Amino acid sequence: MKTMTCKELGGQCDQELSAESWDEMVKVMTKHVMEKHPDVAKEMEKMHKQDPQKWGKEMKPKWNAAPDL
């Protein structure tokens, strides 16, 4: 289990998000952004259409470096 903040994952707030795997964290982060930051969700959707793997390439190394809890 790892815990990271929304901000550490490129978001706007300090909400802590926890997951067992990177794939689960992507789902948790997506749900959080859609619920709490709908304006950012629209920007993320645009970015995803331009380069579907950009966010993951930037954020997965941070996930890998985060300590296991």
Give pLDDT tens digits for 7-60. Answer: 999 889 999 999 999 999 999 999 999 999 998 888 888 888 899 888 889 999
Whether pTM > 0.75 for this model: the answer is: yes
Confidence of residue 63 (pLDDT cuts 50, 70, 90): very high
Rounded distance between C-alpha atoms, residue 25 and residue 63, angstroms: 9
Buried b (16+ CB within 10 A) or exposed e, 5-14: ebeebebeee
Are 25 and 69 spatial neighbours (Cβ–Cβ below 8 Å)?
no
Token representation of residue 47: 């970015």
Question: Residue 43's pLDDT is what?
Answer: 84
Identity (one letter) of the amino acid at 8?
Answer: E
